[in-house]
Structure 1
Amino acid sequence: MIHEPRSSCPINRCLEALGDQWSLLILRDIALHDRRSFREILGGNAEHISAPVLSRRLTDLTTSGFLTKVDAPRGKQGRYSLTDLGLATIPLLVELSRLGGLIDPATEDADGLLTMDDAEIKERTEALRARHLGSAG
């Protein structure tokens, strides 16, 4: 993640925060597949992220406010949760899924994102809010 913005453009700032090849996939795994520990994300990631890269990206996403981490007692895995900023990426994940389907129609819509309407996106985001932040609104 880049801490000093190169410009005041909001698209640039978003790309500086999330533009690497892993951050949005990690957020996808947490939001859509409920993988909340380091081990769950590492083992369940279809793109085979390496442990060192996952560790760096989770730290970056936590530092930049997309995730929080609740540490666990020794021998247990800490759990990551989406913040409000992390939840704000849900519509972006949906749109990236739609664009990916246009780029390559052979991709699979395993998460049902291609057919989600605005009401379904809002409903799914609110369910995630309750699970990750402990409130429905």
Structure 2
Amino acid sequence: MKTQKKRSDCPVSFSLEAFGDKWSLLIVRDLMLKKKCTYGELAKSDEKIATNILAARLLSLEENGIIQKLEHPDSKAKVLYQLTQKGMDLIPIIVEINLWAEKYTDIPEKRKELLAQMNADKEGFIKNALKELELNL
């Protein structure tokens, strides 16, 4: 893993350098919800990330130890991306961001079920998500 040069000793600043750009947490979100993904699946996210940016963010997340590449079982031309333990430790942050957004924005109907699960039992939701991801490690 590449040693990251820090702008300052502030934990918030250091964290934002690792995953604070416009796209990285969306990639983590997709890997959290889908467990393992290919490049093509990530490229098809609702946010329409440009392929060059997706490639750069995947590389950055990998260099920061947040994701890892795995061999695809069906194709040598493809790889699977998966959260590492360091990446899975971001799940509570993703949950809190979702709940914060629900409080301050209009949420589409298709997202409300997931938010209802988070609201009903936030700790249980996080534990279940982590358990499912750990089974895939």
What are structure 1's unaligned runs of at least 5 residues?
Answer: none
Q: Higher helix proportion, which one?
A: 2
Q: Deviations over 1:1-46 (max 9, x none)?
A: x931111111111111111000000011111134511011112x11
What are structure 2's unaligned runs of at least 5 residues?
Answer: none
TM (norm. structure 2) is 0.84
Cα contact 2:35–2:82 (8 A) shared by 1 = no
Once the two structures are aligned, what percentage of the paired residues are identical?
30
**Which one has more relative contact order, counting CA pairs under 8 Å at least 6 apart?**
2
Letter in 2 for 1:55: A
TM (norm. structure 1) is 0.84
List aligned pairs for 1:93-104, cutoff 5 A.
93-104=94-105
2:62 and 2:71 map into 1 onto residues whose CA distance is 13
Q: Which residue of 1 aligns with 2:5?
A: 4
Q: State the number of aligned residues.
A: 129
Q: SS where residue 112 of structure 1 aligns?
A: helix
Cα contact 1:68–1:80 (8 A) shared by 2 = yes
1:75 and 1:118 map into 2 onto residues whose CA distance is 38
2:71 and 2:114 map into 1 onto residues whose CA distance is 32
